[in-house]
Chains A and B, each alone.
Chain A
Amino acid sequence: MLRKDDMSRGLFRTSFMILFFSVGMFEIQPEETYTVVVNAANPVAEITRHDLAEIFLKKTRKWRNGAFIDPVDLSESSAVRTDFSKDIYRRRVAAIKAYWQKQIFAGRGVPPPEKIHDLEVLRYVDEHRAAIGYISAATSIEGFRVKVIEVVDNK
């Protein structure tokens, strides 16, 4: 027959084991694996997550100087896009894909152009003064007229 002490210890151990294995179930904030880039002539130095989401969903269309924003995306198979989507939209790539399908077939809009490789994104941002895109944090921007801007928490 179990003594009261034994029962308490058993309960504590069980709770600890549950908690230990549960830690893995909680979403750990991923280390940012992407950097956001704009054309070097763009005066913007930082942007909030909310504003970035609004831009890529084409709900915000203009920079403060009045120029129409030109967002460029990575292809949906890109791991960098997966991280960007989870961090900025708080949704998966498939959910954003469904959003754009609805926009397209309701006649309301089309998604930003998609590029397969970071270099294509850099080239696009280099060539379009109002463009904004994102690339792998490990990719160098040397040789392109672009700059990295900081993503900050929503104000």
Chain B
Amino acid sequence: MLLSRSRSRGGGQVIKRAAYFSFVLFILLSGWIQGQSKLNIHGYLTQAYAVTDGNKIFGIPSCGTMDYRTLALQFRYDANPVNTMVIQFSHERIGTCPIMALKQDVEVDWAFFEHRFGDATSVKIGKIQIPLGIYNEIRDVGVLLPFYRLPYSPYGEGNYINETVNGLAFSHTLELLSDWELELNLYGGQWTWPEWYTFFNPFSGSLVTQAAEANIENGIGTQLWLNCPLEGLRFGLNGQRGHASGGILFQPDGWLGERDFNSLIFSVDATFHRFFVRSEYARCAFSGIDFAILLGYLQTGFNITEHIALNLQYEGAHGANIPTTSVTAFSNWGTRDRELNRDYSFGLNYNFNAENIVRFESHWNHGFLVENKAVSLSTGFPSYTRYIILSFSTCF
């Protein structure tokens, strides 16, 4: 299956190196010698063991793997109350997922400079975590997540949602009447979508996986959050658009070709002391064709005791008007609607404290995400896969 996603690889090495160099220089010039009270170092690690009942999915084989982890180290330097530099390095392993071909052992997650104007307004410039939906800014922070992975629909690797942007982000909070609050976030710049595709090579008689990155240019987006007087309840709306090119799908002679895209995400987040309910619905569409991807999930969790939580999740993805052949090669292409993925999850978490959590989860998946088969979205059949993940998360 062709998938696109978002770990932004950074307008290349140039921005990454410039941000890194600027950060180091900034610290040296701004009173590093005076003491380290301005420097904060934080990090997190989640290590997992995962296994499936047959198919390979999300990099998890049937023989199991412990090559499944996320780790990050964040350096935050508050030069003064209004200026901050942040750089975060990360290491992620997703077993034998094809996306791993595009990943480095250690990457720059984000590297940005932030300036605050008063209490409610700030601007960030650099490689920035995008304020998108409930989870995008904390997508790998195990201690904050009910399950090891975020819902694949819509956050998964390959689902047209980007994690970071190389550019600019603006944030402002408005206090409305009667304790209502509106958070406004605007962002723009450039990012990439990693893509992978598995096909059967008749000459070698084996499966071949191809991975590449599509470029998203002239990307702009906004995330609104309406915070209610009832603490813990909020409603969100995200919209973004850009121009996709390159990679596998968006090559000039690719399956979809170069084209503009736009997406909308609606979010409901009700998080209280004893339980939470979260749900998001996303739609991504492309210019010039009727093809659209519809993604959504419903997640809930209950604190059975102070230390034990039970979590449940349903997620699904649907393709509307999926072209059955390349739109760049044929003037008349057929389309069909298909359910792309469905996943039911059950999980039990035990938190020793806020910084240390053990998690057991079981998933039942039905869809086209398996990685050990070359399946056509037009004519192929979805696969059933069950997988479990046992993980430990910590942070400091």
A-chain residues with CB within 8 Å of residue B76 when the two chains form the complex: 104, 107, 110
Q: Which residue of B lies closest to A107 (CB)?
A: B86
Chain A residues 58-74 with CB under 8 Å of chain B are 59-62, 68
A-chain residues with CB within 8 Å of residue B40 when the two chains form the complex: 104, 110
The answer for the CA separation of A113 and B72 in the assembled complex, in Å, is 22
The answer for the CA separation of A86 and B217 in the assembled complex, in Å, is 48
Query: For the complex, is B110 an interface residue (Cβ under 8 Å from A)?
Result: yes
A-chain residues with CB within 8 Å of residue B88 when the two chains form the complex: 107
Query: For the complex, is B144 an interface residue (Cβ under 8 Å from A)?
Result: yes
A105 and B273 contact, CB distance less than 8 A:
no
Q: How far is the CB of A125 from chain B (nearest CB, A)?
A: 16
The answer for the CA separation of A101 and B128 in the assembled complex, in Å, is 18
Query: For the complex, is B44 an interface residue (Cβ under 8 Å from A)?
Result: yes
Q: How far is the CB of A23 from chain B (nearest CB, A)?
A: 22
User: How many residues on A have C-beta within 8 angstroms of the other chain's C-beta atoms?
Assistant: 21
Query: For the complex, is B143 an interface residue (Cβ under 8 Å from A)?
Result: yes
B-chain residues with CB within 8 Å of residue A98 when the two chains form the complex: 144, 354
**Do A101 and B395 form a contact, CB below 8 Å, given A61-B81, A91-B273?**
yes
Query: For the complex, is A97 an interface residue (Cβ under 8 Å from B)?
Result: yes
Q: Which residue of A lies closest to B354 (CB)?
A: A97
Please encode chain A, from 76 to 119, with 1 for each CB lying within 8 Å of some chain B CB and 0 for all others.
00000000000000111011011001101111101001000000
**Do A107 and B112 form a contact, CB below 8 Å, given A61-B119, A97-B354?**
yes
A-chain residues with CB within 8 Å of residue B128 when the two chains form the complex: 107
A107 and B119 contact, CB distance less than 8 A:
no
The answer for the CA separation of A112 and B165 in the assembled complex, in Å, is 29
Please encode chain B, from 123 to 154, with 1 for each CB lying within 8 Å of some chain A CB and 0 for all others.
00000110000000110010110000000000
A-chain residues with CB within 8 Å of residue B44 when the two chains form the complex: 105
Q: How far is the CB of B351 from chain A (nearest CB, A)?
A: 9
Q: How many A-B residue pairs have CB under 8 A?
A: 58
The answer for the CA separation of A11 and B76 in the assembled complex, in Å, is 64
Q: Which residue of A lies closest to B42 (CB)?
A: A104
The answer for the CA separation of A62 and B141 in the assembled complex, in Å, is 31
B273 and A104 contact, CB distance less than 8 A:
no
Q: How far is the CB of B134 from chain A (nearest CB, A)?
A: 11
Query: For the complex, is B74 an interface residue (Cβ under 8 Å from A)?
Result: yes
A107 and B141 contact, CB distance less than 8 A:
no
B74 and A107 contact, CB distance less than 8 A:
yes
Specify which of A104, A107, A110 is in contact with B129 (CB 8 Å cutoff). Answer: A107
B81 and A104 contact, CB distance less than 8 A:
no
Chain B residues 380-396 with CB under 8 Å of chain A are 395
A106 and B354 contact, CB distance less than 8 A:
no
Chain B residues 342-380 with CB under 8 Å of chain A are 354
**Do A107 and B81 form a contact, CB below 8 Å, given A62-B119, A91-B273?**
no
The answer for the CA separation of A62 and B80 in the assembled complex, in Å, is 13
**Do A68 and B81 form a contact, CB below 8 Å, given A105-B44, A105-B144?**
yes
**Do A95 and B112 form a contact, CB below 8 Å, given A62-B119, A106-B129?**
no
B-chain residues with CB within 8 Å of residue A91 when the two chains form the complex: 231, 273
The answer for the CA separation of A95 and B72 in the assembled complex, in Å, is 23
**Do A59 and B42 form a contact, CB below 8 Å, given A107-B86, A110-B76?**
no
Chain B residues 64-79 with CB under 8 Å of chain A are 72, 74, 76, 78
The answer for the CA separation of A94 and B303 in the assembled complex, in Å, is 13
A101 and B144 contact, CB distance less than 8 A:
yes
Q: How far is the CB of B128 from chain A (nearest CB, A)?
A: 8
Q: Which residue of B lies closest to A67 (CB)?
A: B81
Q: How far is the CB of B235 from chain A (nearest CB, A)?
A: 18
B-chain residues with CB within 8 Å of residue A104 when the two chains form the complex: 40, 42, 74, 76
Q: How far is the CB of B374 from chain A (nearest CB, A)?
A: 38
B-chain residues with CB within 8 Å of residue A108 when the two chains form the complex: 137
A-chain residues with CB within 8 Å of residue B138 when the two chains form the complex: 102, 105-106
A-chain residues with CB within 8 Å of residue B144 when the two chains form the complex: 98, 101-102, 105
Specify which of A61, A68, A94, A107 is in contact with B354 (CB 8 Å cutoff). Answer: A94
The answer for the CA separation of A98 and B357 in the assembled complex, in Å, is 13
Q: How far is the CB of A61 from chain B (nearest CB, A)?
A: 5
B74 and A101 contact, CB distance less than 8 A:
no
A105 and B354 contact, CB distance less than 8 A:
no
**Taking each of B112, B273, B354, which has the highest tally of chain A beta carbons within 10 Å of its own beta carbon?**
B354
Known: A104-B40, A104-B74, A107-B129. 12 other contacts (CB 8 A): A61-B116, A61-B118, A62-B118, A68-B81, A97-B354, A98-B144, A101-B143, A104-B76, A106-B129, A106-B137, A106-B138, A107-B112
The 4 closest A-B pairs by CB, nearest first: A106-B137, A68-B81, A97-B354, A105-B141
- Some 17 contacts from A to B, beta carbons below 8 A apart, are A61-B81, A61-B116, A61-B118, A94-B354, A98-B354, A101-B143, A101-B144, A102-B144, A104-B40, A104-B42, A106-B129, A106-B138, A107-B112, A107-B137, A108-B137, A110-B40, A110-B42
Which residues in A have some Cβ–Cβ distance to B below 8 Å? 59-62, 68, 90-92, 94-95, 97-98, 101-102, 104-108, 110, 113
